[in-house]
Structure formats: C-alpha cells, structure tokens
Amino acid sequence: MSPLKHITFTIIVLGLGALPVQSQDATAIVQKAYDNMQGESSRANMTMTIVRPSWKRSIAMKAWSMGEDYSLILVTAPARDKGSAYLKRGNEIWNWLPNINRTIKLPPSMMSQSWMGSDFSNNDLVREASIVVDYNHTLLGDTTISGYDTHKIQLEPRATAPVVWEKVILFVTKDEFLQLRAEFYDENGKLVRLMEGSEIREMGGRMLPSRMEMTPVEEKDKKTIIVYNSIEFNINISERFFSIQNMKRLQ
C-alpha cells in the first residue's frame, strides 16, 4: 500500500470489450484488488519504520484521503518531527515544516527522491499512474504466497502512461482480492523493488493487509515497513479539508 496513499488511483476500466478474454480476466482482478483497498474517503493511523544497516527509525502518522486527488499526512511522533505534514492535491505535493514555519512545494526534480528518508519516493505519494488505467494486464498463472492461493498478473505500461517501471508483477489472493506482493522491474528487466503485504485482519469493515514492507532488492539490510493501526473508510470529509491553511493547523 504507498502509506502513503499507499501507493490512490482512478477507478476506470478502458476498452474491455476489445481485449482478449485473458486480459479481461486479469483487468477485472486488478480492478477488484484496487476497489478492496480504496474507499471514497478514508482516515488512518499508521506507523512507518525505516530500517537501515546501522539504525532504525519509527514515525507515527495520521492520514486522510478523498478520492484519488486529495490526501494529507500528519506526523505525530517523534517530537522533533511532530506537526510536519504533507499535502497532495492532484499531482502536486506541499510540505509544511513547523520548526522553520515554512511551506515548500516539491518541484518535479524532487519527485523521484526519498519520501521522509524511506524506501518510498515522493512520486509514490503522488501516484501519477493508475494500476487499472495505465497498464495492460496479463494473467500469468496461479501460485501460493504465505498459504494463500493467488493470481499472478503482469502489468505492462501503456505507451502514453506516466510510468517509470518497465513492468510490475502483482500477486492477488483469489478469495478476498488482497495484494500480497508487488515486484517492480526497470527497463533492463531487473527486479528493483519488492513490496509485500502481510498480517491480514479486519479494518474498516474489510479484510486488508495491515503491514506493508517495501524493500530495495539490491540494497542489503534496507527496508521500510508501514503498519496500519486503524483505518476508516467513507468518512465525512470535503475538499476544503485538504488545504494548505488546514495542513498548518492540524495537530
């Protein structure tokens, strides 16, 4: 899951009637997996732990979202970072730094950089690409992950899609349509990042992986773990909540 709005996408399926049956099936599975992870709006409490060879750091956060265009993340701990916030509106991100009383709009040149020192990027937070709309889907077969029967699906970007990956391989459970694993490959066909979901439990009235772990494959002893402590879906919230002024007021 980007916590990080982990990783919000447009819910549209394009041109299904013109696709082969296998592609229809694969796209339908990806759509169901997306729908299971999203709501019209949400509120979550989560903890992100950044693990490095010689140190480990945990950050507590609250997160709100509405549709695919709006999200707001507030850091609540540790004390030195408390009150810092990230606001997403469309494809733009603002960062509020209360210690220096400054709001920063992140430029395009920073989108590929690390988000809060983690293994997620600022671009992961914005999520310009949709796993439903911007990729062609192919069902590769079935496999078992952590005791769950899963569909193995290959995602290849459409020609005009704003996608940095050459391909993504998704593993989605057959019963609840849960994303248990995502493999990200570069233009050379090399596995670069691995995201795994685990500790499935009921949250917000639906079964979800409560733990998401992102690992840079070639960087030893490095990973970022996001644990969702609680999440509510379809909350009463409006576009006005996602403003720079409100971002500064939140505690």
CATH numbers and ranges of domains, the chain: 16-236 (2.50.20.10)
Q: Which long-range contacts (CB under 8 A, 24 or more apart) does 164-171 make?
A: 164/112, 164/123, 165/192, 168/131, 168/135, 169/140, 170/30, 170/33, 170/131, 171/143, 171/145
DSSP line for 223-248: EEEEEEEEEEES-S--GGGSSHHHHH
| Largest Cα–Cα separation, the chain | 56
Distance CA 9, CA 68 (A): 5
The pLDDT tens digits of the residues spanning 190-235 come to: 999 999 999 999 999 999 999 999 999 999 899 999 999 999 999 9
Confidence tier at 34 by pLDDT (50, 70, 90): confident
Residue 68: predicted pLDDT: 78
CA–CA distance from 156 to each of 27, 126, 162, 243 (Å)?
12, 20, 12, 35
CB atoms within 10 A of CB 126: 23
pLDDT at 119: 94
pLDDT tens digits, 20-33: 445 559 999 999 98
How many Å apart are CA 102 and CA 41, to the nearest integer? 28
As a whole number of angstroms, the distance between CA 166 and CA 236 comes to 38
Q: What is the CA radius of gyration of the chain?
A: 18
46-69 pLDDT, tens per residue? 999 999 999 999 999 999 999 878
Residues 242 and 246: their CA atoms lie apart, in Å, by 7
What is the value of pTM for the model shown?
0.84
Q: Read off the pLDDT of each residue in 24-44 and give the average, rounded to a whole number.
A: 87
- Is 57 in contact with 50 (CB distance < 8 Å)? yes
pLDDT tens digits along 120-161: 887 776 665 578 888 999 999 999 999 999 999 999 999 887
